[in-house]
Chains A and B, each alone.
Chain A
Amino acid sequence: MTGILIVLAFTVVIAVLLYYSRGEVPEQEKLVDIIDSLLPQTQCGQCGYPGCKPYADAIVHNHADINQCPPGGRNTIRQLADLLGGEIKPLNPAHGKAGPKRVAFIDEDICIGCVKCIKACPVDAIVGAPEQMHTVITLECTGCELCVAPCPVDCISMLVFVQGGRRVKLGPAMRTSS
């Protein structure tokens, strides 16, 4: 009898301590923001939603899976799994493959200045005017590839973004994912 009481008392003490040591469970709206902050913000739509925030919203409200973000790759999936307490899953191949960060490059000799890519760019990283040559601001480019399809003359290619220390240089495109 005494034994049971002792164990019971012990359990209660531990339960109280555990209760106070648990992390804050964020509200849903806050959670959307937190998830959004973990996403790479390429706004590429490869996840099937029109941007990172809508995907974050879908994860919270529509139970979208956490493995639909190719630009984020394993790292994002891991962080989402940690946050939401789920399993780490491999990237869903239906949404694309993970690879090194790439940036768009406009071949200025071919560009006809149709502004279609400027309209497609979600982060205004392409500058130019109608019938003027366009150029990608490399540092602003998120590598979403949304500008590639609209180009009527196929002058946009995605190049691997090499970041070594402070220097940023462009290497040849590598389509194979690592």
Chain B
Amino acid sequence: MNRELYPFPGGLQIPPHKELSNAKTSLITPLPDSIILPLQQHIGTPAVPLVKTGDKVLKGQIIARADGYVSVPVHASTSGKIIDIGNYTVPDPLGLKAPCIVIEPDGDDVWFEIKPTHDYASIDPKDLQDVIREAGIVGLGGAGFPAHVKLREGTESAVDTLIINAVECEPFISCDDRLIREKPGYIVNGTRMIRHAIQAKYCVIALEADMPEAYAALKELIDDDIDLIQLPVKYPQGGERQLIKVLTGMEVPSGGLPIHMGIVMHNAATAAAAYRAVIRGEPLISRYVTVSGEVNDPRNLQVLLGTPVKHCADQCGYEDKEGQAIILGGPMMGMYVNNMHMPVIKTTNCVLVTSTYNKSPEMPCIRCGQCVDVCPEKLLPQQLFWHAHAKNYDRLREYHLFDCIECGCCSFVCPSNIRLVQYYRKAKRQITQDEQTRSGADHARERFIARNARLAREEQTQNNELLAGSDIGELDKQAFIQAAVERTRAKRAQLGKQENSDDDQE
């Protein structure tokens, strides 16, 4: 079917380097010595451990439960013994440690009991969400947003279009390409299943023109129910807002969500994982990871979650050389990490070893405006940079800093080599922090005002009583005191009586 395409603004053509890894069949990575599973591999609340050190677990067993709605459980990737629950290095740009469960594999790889369902169509869409949630499925494209949340949004409002995002726009990464080529059935059926779960009217699978084999593989399995669309190659086409624009011509409002426009988007790998979880009952415990760049044998691997990055790199002939950087994710949006101890998690799509990362010094901005031309969000990266530099946070907001998707196009083309995205990240962090302080201050102000009002009220009542006293003349005052004394006496008498009667009763 031919669909009209609406190019998104800005964007770049970047040498894709996919040929390094996309032609070779993926390898199943052998079991590592230890499996490290962070409790938080998704956006939202970290999972809560259900096991303790020394416990035996089986492959696919839930070892940490979801905590709250925006959270998913963590499953053991293989059978073995829990040897520690504690803080370990996780994929994090600051190299921080986070709570993890460590499993020592017993080598048997024994499955926990799994409940396959042969016909998803017979399951109520709402129950389907629960199955997907219990399987720990999150967005595998990079952000790691729990998949069931998007599905629920889908069932709660009418969904016009389901978009399955197979656009792998970042250079070097080919894990989705490989997955589609090797398991096209999972993608297509997963797509149909999600469509059933959210009752979408139309359904689109979008991929870029540099994946012809994947396209052919899908084409063979697709009937007229799904639109398979090939897009011209352009970075960052895989961005949610960009892809929606390309396919529908609609722009997701600044700060809005696609669901408000009747669109739900899932990554192709997510669809496959969800299908696998429902049909075979296997939770999300492994994923495709591209290992590319300066390794002897760049290729894709099927990796158990929790496998140390180093172990994956070793499978591809990695040799530690001076001056090499290790990047988790693609070269445009991935994170630089300074060691390889951290595990592969649900959102790890690529391990890139490169020595050609950007090292040139930063020069002053010459206002050339290249960044403006390539910004896919039509922001003014340059002005944002000035204001971020001047810490002018109100202005940054006015210039829509929070619409920045950190795709890195602006930094890529900058002739002055300014790390624009880094400045934006810093500013965003600072603004969020300021906001917290500000809301705390507002709260304190309210309490201060309330307290002052209370004190004023108390003082007022005291004054009133005094005033009431001074109004009475000297004689009356005596009478007033007399009356008060009388009253007290009467009260006492009554109390005495009561006491007596109490005694009587006893």
Contact = CB atoms under 8 A, between A and B. Distances in A.
A124 B443 CA distance: 12
Nearest to B437: A40
Contacts of B438: 37
Interface string B423-440: 000000000001011101
B391 A123 contact: no
A142 B438 CA distance: 12
B434 A41 contact: no
Nearest to B436: A163
B113 interface: no
A97 interface: no
Contact of A123 (B434, B436, B448): B448
Given A39-B441, A41-B441, A41-B442, A78 B447 contact: no
Contact of B444 (A75, A78, A82, A142): A142
Contacts of B450: 124
B441 A78 contact: no
A142 B437 CA distance: 10
A140 B445 contact: no
B53 interface: no
B68 to A, nearest CB: 11
A51 B447 CA distance: 12
B296 to A, nearest CB: 39
B447 A140 contact: yes
Interface string A129-168: 0000000000010100000000000000000000100000
B434 A52 contact: no
A37 B441 CA distance: 8
B448 A41 contact: yes
Contact of B391 (A36, A43, A52, A78): A78
Interface string A1-36: 000000000000000000000000000000000001
Interface in B438-467: 438, 440-445, 447-448, 450-451
B478 interface: no
B17 to A, nearest CB: 35
Given A41-B444, A82-B392, A140-B444, A123 B451 contact: yes
Nearest to B45: A166
A52 B449 CA distance: 11
Interface footprint category on B: 10 to 19
A58 interface: no
Interface in B376-392: 391-392
Contacts of B442: 37, 41
Given A124-B451, A125-B447, A75 B441 contact: no
A42 interface: yes
B448 A122 contact: yes
Nearest to A164: B96
Nearest to A123: B447
Interface footprint category on A: 20 to 34
A142 B447 CA distance: 11
Contacts of A52: 445, 448
Contacts, number: 40
A129 B434 CA distance: 35
A123 B392 contact: no
Interface string A33-71: 000110111110000000111000000000000000000
A71 B166 CA distance: 50
Interface in B321-348: none
B345 to A, nearest CB: 17
Contacts of B437: 40
A125 B440 CA distance: 13
Contacts of B447: 123-125, 140
Contacts of B443: 140
Contacts of A51: 448
Contacts of A123: 444, 447-448, 451
Contacts of B441: 37, 39-41
B445 A41 contact: yes
B448 A43 contact: yes
A36 B445 contact: yes
Contacts of B440: 41, 142
Interface in A88-130: 122-125
A43 B450 CA distance: 13
B483 to A, nearest CB: 31
B446 to A, nearest CB: 9
A51 B434 CA distance: 21
A74 B27 CA distance: 55
Nearest to A142: B444
A43 B434 contact: no
A140 B451 CA distance: 13
A77 B208 CA distance: 51
A118 B437 CA distance: 24
Contacts of A82: 392
A162 to B, nearest CB: 14
A129 B443 CA distance: 24
A78 B445 CA distance: 21
Contacts of A78: 391
B179 to A, nearest CB: 32
Contacts of B391: 78
B445 A122 contact: no
A75 B447 CA distance: 23
Contact of A75 (B434, B436, B445, B448): B434
Nearest to B40: A165
Contacts of B436: 163
Contacts of A53: 445
B444 A42 contact: yes
Nearest to A78: B391
A39 B445 CA distance: 10
5 contacts: A40-B437, A52-B448, A123-B451, A124-B447, A163-B436
Given A41-B445, A43-B444, A51-B448, 6 more contacts: A37-B441, A41-B440, A41-B442, A52-B445, A124-B450, A142-B440
6 pairs of A and B residues whose beta carbons are closest in the complex: A41-B441, A41-B444, A123-B447, A41-B445, A142-B444, A124-B451
Interface of A: 36-37, 39-43, 51-53, 75, 78, 82, 122-125, 140, 142, 163
Interface of B: 391-392, 434, 436-438, 440-445, 447-448, 450-451
